[in-house]
């Protein structure tokens, strides 16, 4: 299970799901979000996490988040970022990716293969939680994919899979 977390968030829209569309959108969001959170005096208390959702016009909404400990006292419209709860996930498969975002597809494909081979299906897009941000884009990222057993009615948000060294199911 993945716990719910309070996060500061900036979002922008990318063309359909593909690393070459997502990277140029999400990479500038994190420095901007960090600057705005610091300016607001909000403490970052946990990892950054990227998550994704569909837009009505078939594109992907890219969400960059930083975990925060409490809601800021300032009015929401003066912060320059959203404060939202990243929802809990009851059951997830996770994989650890080490390297650049350019070679993350292999880890993502390994995760999807594990999900399929173990009788599950992905629900929605995956989350990417940063564990370690190293030099030259050498990062350690936990890919977190919500899953459900095959044979259950698909969740409304099911269907958009995409992006190893380890794949571990997480259950409630």
What's the Rg (C-alpha) of the chain? 16
Query: Which residues are within 8 A (CB) of 165 and not within 5 positions of it... i.e. 6 or more apart?
Result: 95, 96, 97, 98, 107
Q: What's the average model confidence in pLDDT over 126-142?
A: 83
Phi, psi of 54 (to 5 degrees): -85, 150
Look at residue 118 and tell me whether its pLDDT is greater than 70.
yes
As a whole number of angstroms, the distance between CA 120 and CA 21 comes to 28
Q: What is the Cα 72 distance to its own chain's centre?
A: 22
**Could you tell me if residue 116 is left (phi over 0), alpha (psi between -120 and 50 degrees) or otherwise beta?**
alpha
- For 60-93, how does the pLDDT look when each residue is reduced to its tens digit (9 = 90+)? 999 999 999 999 998 888 999 999 999 999 999 9
- For 9-37, how does the pLDDT look when each residue is reduced to its tens digit (9 = 90+)? 999 999 877 777 888 898 899 999 999 99
Give the angle 164-128-162 at the CA atoms, nearest 5°. Answer: 65
Maximum CA pair distance of the chain?
49
**Which of 81, 98, 87, 101 is CA-nearest to residue 22?**
101
CB 104 within 8 A of CB 141: yes
Query: Which residues are within 8 A (CB) of 101 and not within 5 positions of it... i.e. 6 or more apart?
Result: 19, 23, 137, 139
């Amino acid at each position: 299970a993945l716990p719910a977390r309070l996060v500061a968030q900036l979002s922008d829209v990318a063309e359909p799901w593909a690393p070459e569309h997502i990277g140029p959108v999400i990479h500038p969001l994190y420095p901007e979000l960090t600057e705005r959170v610091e300016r607001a005096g909000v403490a970052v208390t946990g990892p950054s996490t990227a998550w994704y959702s569909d837009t009505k016009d078939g594109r992907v909404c890219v969400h960059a988040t930083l975990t925060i400990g409490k809601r800021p006292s300032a009015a929401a419209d003066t912060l320059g970022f959203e404060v939202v709860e990243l929802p809990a996930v009851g059951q997830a498969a996770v994989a650890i990716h080490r390297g650049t975002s350019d070679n993350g597809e292999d880890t993502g494909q390994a995760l999807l293969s594990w999900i399929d081979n173990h009788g599950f299906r992905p629900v929605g897009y995956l989350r990417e939680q940063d564990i370690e941000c190293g030099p030259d884009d050498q990062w350690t990222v936990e890919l977190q994919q919500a899953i459900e057993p095959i044979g259950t009615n698909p969740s409304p948000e099911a269907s958009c899979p995409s992006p190893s060294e380890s794949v571990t199911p997480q259950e409630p």
